Structure 1
Amino acid sequence: MLAAATASALLVLGLAAPAIAQDSGGVAWTVKTVDSENGTGRGSFSYDLEPGATVSDAMVVVNTGTVALPLDVYAADAFTTAGGDVDLIADASDSEDAGLWVSVATSEIVLEPGAQAEIPFTLTVPAGAQPGDHAAGLVTSLAGVEASAILSVERRLGARINVRVAGALLPAAQVENVRAAYAASWNPFEAGTLTVDYALRNTGNTRLTGVGAIEAAGPVGLFASRTPAEQLDEVIPGSTIEVRRTLPVSALGWVSGAVVIDPEGVGLGAGQLAPVVTDFSAPAVPWSLVALLAVVAGLVVAAVMLVRRRRAATVEGGPSGTQGQQG
């Protein structure tokens, strides 16, 4: 799904079913890929092309609302947001990649209620295009809305375009900005919680996915813990996602561990890349246990002092010695 871009928001066709936009004012429409020699029942537009190649396709728009529907139509570069959604750059005129490769047959349409239209477009890969994956989106936007206005999520609707240009495919990933923070449990006999935040940047030229896990342990490997491997969001080349994971850790003053990523280039199969391992460490003081030990130590000291005082009092107040009388 395409997420909010600046103050506006988008929906993207990401499944086999049509994507739907609607609001309470009678405005509603759907978009879907056209069935053609390029494919049927497609969830998005995806192409494997040589540099210099051209492909023609179309998107179907249906006015399912009760009022006339004026729409602007355009293409723009896509990227992956920090949260893992696919978004478009805020201003289509700033496109520098696949958004520039798309030529739409019409930039404006008006559909009466119940009407539909095919929007043809042509995608031409530049002769000097770099190998790998390039992403864009073909968008229908409700016309007449100021760019500065706050739009609801139903106001724009589009379909994702994925282009894989032939050549050397070099998937790669980098883990950055790892931050770890330990929160002790209120129960001194329970493990605390370690929260690890990190950024995963796609430094290769293919879309990237994979699985990630967090390993952690106390001093000299005590109380080792590991999260289950979790599927990572797909990341467009050049984009970065932010990930947060938590795991229980019983720590004794310090915890160390690693972010372990098993990356995978989309469509290339698992096991193609070596794991990316990035170490971290953080203070991990079990404050509730420290407090308990302090209380116990205080009680022990108090008990010892009390015993000593009682012994001293017994010695001072005990019977004094007597001398025997001589006849």
Structure 2
Amino acid sequence: MSTTPTRRKTTVAAFLRTAAVALLATSAVAGLASGPALAADGDVAWTVRTASNSYGAARSSFSYAVNPGGRVEDAMVVANRGPVPLNLAVYTADGFTTGAGQLDLLARDGKSVAVGAWVHADRGSVTIQPGKTAQVPFKISVPDNATPGDYVGGILTSLTRADQAEGINVDRRLGIRIKLRVGGELKPNLAIEDLHVTYGGKLNPFSRGDATVTYKIHNSGNAALSGQQAVSVSGPFGSLRAGAGGIAAPPELLPGESWTVTVPVRGVAPAVWLAATATLTPQLTDASGSTTPLKPVRATTHGWALPWMLALVLLVLVAALVGALRYRRRDRVRRRTREEARVRDAVEQALRGQEPQTS
């Protein structure tokens, strides 16, 4: 949120006044909507969609394969569904994955270095009369030195209105995703990092408890990737294995992005020394929308799984044993000291008994 004379909201999900509209707007930016996306608030309503041309009709988003130095021309169609004229700002921005796992776009004053910098609309604003539509052409110019791989951003329309009741400016945005795959060697790769396992036992030392496995998925390649996950926990030598079910798939991560995963594993035996294994199968989506699974990635870590009540009993027994041994040692020292004193007294008495008599 940037600071102005009045506060300004800039995120795609926050700019709308109702949850239903917020969902529509988020879907539009993510390129998930099957039809035109709608933004509406009172007497203001507009939609955005892709233009029908040689790239296709009724596309849910813009997607291109372009070589470094390549050029693309396309258009977005904006329609005014409300009863009053609309003057909308038009701009482009880089995309990123939010903490909720959704695609968002940088605010207008954010610094874009890829799609947001390579895509240029032919105008910075568009005015549309009620019931009318307007095409917003744009051009994509990929730099000659662009690194091969996937890039995601979007082209947006924006309307800022003052909310007198809350004393803020509400920035309502509606846009369409743009995905570029720059030609060259594609190196898709997901890595599992910072893998940890912790164990929570129960009072009954012989009952099974729960383990928690956490790790970070890092897209260390140059392609946008999703993935399928599997997590298991076992005792020494692979015994007493327990698996986690129903793990939600991570969002599609852009190159360089990371996603933290926390997986509970139920019914884990307190096998003292646990091995936790996370398996990740990357999923690569091509330009046609087909998904191909890649070679699985695995990582293993270890952690303690002590039956705490039994461990407490053992600790008490060890403490008692140590105490008994120390008592016996002190007792032997005391007896040795008494014996040495007795011998010393006996020697002194014997020496006094041998002293010469004087007359």
Question: Where on the TM-score scale, by shorter chain, does this alignment land: which range?
Answer: 0.7 to 0.9
Q: Residue type of the partner of 1:108?
A: S
Partner of 2:303: 282
CA distance in 2: counterparts of 1:90 and 1:181, whole angstroms:
39
Retained in 2: the 8 A contact 1:171–1:264? no
How far did 1:186 drift? Answer: 6.8
The residue correspondences of 1:92-131 to structure 2 (distance < 5 A) are 92-131=109-148
Q: Does 1:255 align with 2:274?
A: yes
CA distance in 2: counterparts of 1:151 and 1:253, whole angstroms:
56
- What SS does the aligned partner of 1:100 have? helix
- The counterpart of 1:270, out of the listed 288, 292, 303, is 292
**May I ask how many residue pairs the two structures share in their alignment?**
287
Could you tell me which runs of 5 or more consecutive residues in structure 2 were left unpaired when the two chains were aligned. 1-9, 17-24, 318-359
- The counterpart of 1:242, out of the listed 260, 278, 296, is 260
Q: With structure 2 as the length reference, what TM-score do the two structures score?
A: 0.70
How far did 1:42 drift? Answer: 0.9
Retained in 2: the 8 A contact 1:196–1:244? yes
Retained in 2: the 8 A contact 1:30–1:63? yes
The residue correspondences of 1:1-327 to structure 2 (distance < 5 A) are 4=11, 11=26, 12=29, 13-23=31-41, 25-144=42-161, 149=168, 151=170, 155-184=172-201, 191-228=208-245, 231-248=249-266, 249-267=268-286, 270-273=292-295, 275-287=296-308, 290=310
Higher-RCO chain (CA-CA 8 Å, sequence separation at least 6): 1
Could you tell me which runs of 5 or more consecutive residues in structure 1 were left unpaired when the two chains were aligned. 299-327
Cα 1:149/1:101, change in 2 over 3 Å: farther
CA distance in 2: counterparts of 1:223 and 1:78, whole angstroms:
44
Retained in 1: the 8 A contact 2:188–2:221? yes
Q: With structure 1 as the length reference, what TM-score do the two structures score?
A: 0.76
More helix by share: 2
CA distance in 1: counterparts of 2:196 and 2:260, whole angstroms:
11
How far did 1:74 drift? Answer: 0.6
Q: Deviations over 1:81-120 (max 9, x none)?
A: 3432112234555111121111101111233332322111
- What SS does the aligned partner of 2:292 have? coil
- What SS does the aligned partner of 2:77 have? strand
Larger Cα-atom Rg:
2
How far did 1:187 drift? Answer: 7.2
When the two chains are superposed, the root-mean-square deviation of aligned CA atoms in Å is 3.1
Q: Residue type of the partner of 1:276?
A: V
Cα 1:30/1:187, change in 2 over 3 Å: farther
How far did 1:150 drift? Answer: 7.1
Q: Residue type of the partner of 2:186?
A: L
